[in-house]
Amino acid sequence: IQKGTSVARSDDMKSMKATIVDWITPKGQALIPHIPRNAKTGRGFHHERTGALLCPAGYEWANSETKAKLHSSQLQVAGDQWPLFLYVDYSYDVEDPWNSLLRSSLLVLAYRHIFTSPSS
């Protein structure tokens, strides 16, 4: 049973790695630079789009200093700092940090991909 679970989890994550590129690409646009669907390199804080989504709430990804510190790991992201992709419309409310947390469309897509099927 454990082996079957591990294989299923591996398959889910492999297909998610490819599919998420489509999900984070704005409609009618292309990611620049291009992110290969089946490679991990060039993601995270190394890419403009993924960096913006992973940027901790309360920080401004548009700020070049913040970007540089996250990219170089000078700014360590703590476990209690939520990334912007977890918020509705990737928008964080400083006055009410819990507002719209864990309600992003990206989370819904990921849930459906893993727990129902990629085509749902």
Segment among 4-8, 11-15, 101-105 with least mean pLDDT: 4-8
Q: What is the pLDDT of residue 17?
A: 86
pLDDT, one tens digit per residue, over 16-61 is 888 999 999 999 999 999 999 888 888 999 999 999 999 999 999 9
pLDDT (0 to 100) of residue 35: 93
Query: Which residues have a Cβ under 8 Å from the Cβ of 70 and sit 6 or more positions away?
Result: 45, 51, 55, 59, 77
Q: Where are the domains of the chain?
A: 2-115
Residue 98 CA to residue 102 CA, distance in Å, equals 9
Report the amino acid identity of residue 4: G
Q: How far is CA 46 from CA 11, 28, 31, 89, 105, in A?
A: 25, 23, 13, 22, 23
| Tokens describing residue 105 | 């469309």
Structure tokens, 8:
């299923």
**Would you state the pLDDT for residue 15?**
85
The predicted model gives 65-77 an average pLDDT of 96
The secondary structure of residue 78, as a DSSP letter, is: P
Contacts with 22 (C-beta within 8 Å, 6 or more apart), sequence order = none
pLDDT in tens, 84-104: 999 999 999 999 999 999 999
Query: What is the predicted pLDDT for the residue at 1?
Result: 66
